[in-house]
Structure 1
Amino acid sequence: MKLEITGKIVFLITESDWGGAQRFLIEFLPRFVKSYPEIEIVVAAGGKGYIMGELQKNGIRFVNIPNLTSSHFSPLKDIGAFLKIIKLLKSECPDIFFLLSTKAGFYGSLASIIHKIIGGKKLKVFYRIGGFAFTEDLSRLRKLVYLWIEKSTSWLKDIIIVNSQNNFDLAIDKKITNPDKLRLVRNGIDLKTFQKILYERDEARNKLGLKTKGKTVIGTIANFYRNKGLDNLVNSAFYLLERNPALRENLLFVIIGDGPEKKLIEGKINVRDLNNLFELKGAIPNAASYLKAFDVFVLPSLKEGSPWTIIEAMAAKLPIIATAVGGIPEIIEDKKNGLLIEPADNEALEQAMLSLLSDKNYRQVLAQEAYNKTSQFSIELMVQQFSELIIEALE
């Protein structure tokens, strides 16, 4: 007989708009509350974005923390958000405080110790990090600050959860924490459901409004942030077409996503005279449903953890070009189930695209091998592993 486990968990995340950490909550929490309805769940985040509605549909309470954002540290706004987090802990008195992302991890850890000092209920602190901020393309000083943030608050966290072996090893190499605090839980998707929501090639292209008759489509799903390396995609496309002008007649690049650097990328596309060859479709709900509109999937990121979109592209049976950053080499094996290139290497990306454009059979082989590996990234395993960590802490 299953023992009844009770308790309360408060999840803290910087923003309620879409991203990797938000995706984790959407995938994990509805399944967890279905298995453990007696455990109370609260999600606190900055703003009232997309995930608020999705969580509330599943009966999960949402609390807005004004001024809590994933943007870089802003003293006045951050102090206000920090005080709200302390107040949140006092009012909710959780058994587990589950932190997601660098800033939530920092302020949440500090708030937890203050909560304990002022006589609050003893709680356990979980920290899930998709990718360490100090690995981003930043100045040396800012990288050192982000590394210090991780090191200085690690003693306040009971468990640190990463989604790639790369991040696990990095945490040890950088002496962020002891190995006994670290757990590795890989991202996973619901493969059966995903296959049901995938549009077939022609339908996906029609719904996206793509004029693709006789054209090969190279596409990506990525928000317009510097770390996504979309400027490198534009540069590589320019060099590819400059050296192979015949491709202009039968090639189209598509980007699904939005973000603060969209205007910058649009400007680069215009300067490179690529307006007729790039289509920026903006943010689209359930964007992965349209993956089959692409003939080749590209992820030119400068920094990643273990991206969901790579797993989805594999499940859509697409040939993949990706940068060898973060946990991507644990998912994509170069020249076996995709092509890996170094980040910000425009020539390597150009050559990788050319090799796939030149050989349809090679594209099919890589796509099939990628698809064959998707069973290693199941939602069932991810939910099971996180659930076991939580239940163990509550018992």
Structure 2
Amino acid sequence: MTGSERPRVFHLITRLLKGGAEAKTIATVCGLDDYAFTVGYGSEYDSDQVDRLEREGIATKQFPLIRHYNPVTTVPAVLSLARYLRREEFDIVHTHSTEAGIIGRFAAALAGVPTIVHTVHGVPFADDRSAFLNRFVLACERQAASYTDRIVTNADVIADDYLERGIGRRDQYTTVYSGVDLDAFADAEPADDLPGERPRIVMVGRLADGKGYEVLLDAVESLDSFEGSVCIVGDGPLYESLTTEIEDRELADQVCLTGFRDDIPCVLAASDVLVLPSFREGTPRVITEAMASGLPVVATDIAGIPEQIEDSENGYLIQTGDSEALANRLETLLADAELREQMGRHGLERANRFSVPTMVEELDRVYRELVGEQVGSTGSNV
């Protein structure tokens, strides 16, 4: 790279779907002008996301051998990616998520890429995964960290967790909170087509293992005299099984699956409480979105969530799998509109640290430090 050229940065993510990790990645490459970005992704992708990147002038590249927790294709994926990286001569490789983070960093080291960055979007070690898988991922993360110049986490507690597990060194870590377009949520008009009555409990996310949907259903079953509704917003592999389970539990009159919606600000504006009883997370964007919408949140006390939710101030924290605690907190909030409003105000005050401009500026600073030269002024167009 000469002084007149923009640094060439390659982002790699396992799946280019419509989740929080993808949103953060897309906001980064669309928000920084002083770099030439390419976004790589594995076998699973959403064509709308690819089209959006290409409309923004961001190059894309699919790597079909990168698959979600598929060890059979891991070595071929590393070799294929290394050949590509060696040919393209990127200045920085920036990986995201567990599989792409391991494959991408091994390949970048093999290809001799000058600078390697990895973002941890969520802690991959969880009680609901097998002990063998946790040990395998831990071994890979420790090795990959030795090739990594900077490890970006969504919360300080995630960096502490990784260091306690022997992953990398303290000086490798930087915390950059996931950014959200706060204005889009503060100014949203409530959706008028959501099923059920208010007060409305809402859960937004991919319908996949680890999100705690069964914990929510257990809690709803135990609620006394609940006359509101529950909307589960999102799509994914659990859609059919959740539909069946809701029917089998005879909860269909109160609990509805809406499928994927692209108007989440309007959905949150038409809701009263956000729940997120996940078993594993990073620093979930949907919690920031709920804060920006003025909603109280009930979520599990894991990863970066306590850096978003101050217990009893803008929501409640519960332990993973504790449906009784979730039900108790929901009963408290559903019975007290004034408390919901008060917690919502506290959430609005805390949301500013999670804005897109702040996130982009901090990632720009990371790149500048690693590249070792100035590449423009602020580099931000958000």
Judge same fold: TM > 0.5, yes or no.
Answer: yes
In structure 1, the partner of 2:28 is 28
Please say if 1:228 is aligned against 2:211: yes
8 Å CA contact 1:221–1:288 kept in 2: the answer is: no
Please say if 1:311 is aligned against 2:311: no
Instruction: Identify the match of residue 271 of structure 1 among 209, 230, 248.
Output: 248
Q: How has the CA–CA distance of structure 1 residues 81 and 32 changed in structure 2, closer, same or farther, with 3 Å as cutoff?
A: same
Instruction: For residue 210 of structure 2, give the secondary structure of its aligned residue in structure 1.
Output: helix
Paired AA for residue 343 in structure 1: T
- CA shift for structure 1 position 303: 1.0
State TM-score, norm by structure 2. Answer: 0.92
In structure 2, the partner of 1:199 is 189
Paired AA for residue 121 in structure 2: G
- CA shift for structure 1 position 267: 2.3
In structure 2, the partner of 1:351 is 328
Q: 1:110-259 counterparts in 2 under 5 A?
A: 110-116=106-112, 122-135=113-126, 137-196=128-187, 198-200=188-190, 204-206=191-193, 208=194, 210-212=195-197, 215-240=198-223, 244=224, 246-247=225-226, 250-259=227-236
In structure 2, the partner of 1:93 is 89
2:139, 2:192 → 1: CA distance? 46
Instruction: Identify the match of residue 264 of structure 2 among 272, 287, 290.
Output: 287
Instruction: Identify the match of residue 102 of structure 1 among 98, 104, 123.
Output: 98
- CA shift for structure 1 position 90: 2.3
Instruction: For residue 15 of structure 1, give the secondary structure of its aligned residue in structure 2.
Output: coil
In structure 2, the partner of 1:119 is none
Gaps of 5+ in 1: 117-121
In structure 1, the partner of 2:6 is 6
Q: 1:43-84: per-residue Cα shift (whole Å, max 9, x none)?
A: 111244232111111100011111323x21240x33443333
- CA shift for structure 1 position 4: 5.5
Please say if 1:336 is aligned against 2:313: yes
2:351, 2:178 → 1: CA distance? 11
Q: 1:181-229: per-residue Cα shift (whole Å, max 9, x none)?
A: 1111111222234434x223xxx032x3x243xx321111111112110
1:81, 1:136 → 2: CA distance? 28
State TM-score, norm by structure 1. Answer: 0.89
In structure 2, the partner of 1:73 is 70
In structure 1, the partner of 2:57 is 59
- CA shift for structure 1 position 274: 0.5
After TM superposition, the runs of 4+ consecutive aligned structure 1 residues lying more than 4 A away are none
Q: 1:147-197: per-residue Cα shift (whole Å, max 9, x none)?
A: 11111211111111101011111121111111011111111222234434x
8 Å CA contact 2:91–2:115 kept in 1: the answer is: yes
Paired AA for residue 9 in structure 2: I
Instruction: For residue 27 of structure 1, give the secondary structure of its aligned residue in structure 2.
Output: helix
2:78, 2:21 → 1: CA distance? 20
8 Å CA contact 2:101–2:118 kept in 1: the answer is: yes
Instruction: For residue 135 of structure 1, give the secondary structure of its aligned residue in structure 2.
Output: coil
Alignment identity in percent?
28
Q: How many residues align?
A: 368
8 Å CA contact 1:288–1:309 kept in 2: the answer is: no
1:57, 1:136 → 2: CA distance? 41
Larger helix share, 1 or 2: 1
- CA shift for structure 1 position 136: 5.4
2:295, 2:218 → 1: CA distance? 23
In structure 2, the partner of 1:381 is 358
Paired AA for residue 205 in structure 1: D
In structure 1, the partner of 2:18 is 18
1:149, 1:371 → 2: CA distance? 39
Instruction: Identify the match of residue 346 of structure 2 among 366, 369, 372.
Output: 369
Q: How has the CA–CA distance of structure 1 residues 367 and 195 changed in structure 2, closer, same or farther, with 3 Å as cutoff?
A: closer
Instruction: For residue 17 of structure 1, give the secondary structure of its aligned residue in structure 2.
Output: coil
Paired AA for residue 72 in structure 1: Y
2:93, 2:263 → 1: CA distance? 29
Instruction: For residue 289 of structure 2, give the secondary structure of its aligned residue in structure 1.
Output: helix
Paired AA for residue 100 in structure 2: A
Paired AA for residue 69 in structure 2: H
RMSD: 1.7
8 Å CA contact 2:94–2:118 kept in 1: the answer is: yes
2:241, 2:60 → 1: CA distance? 34
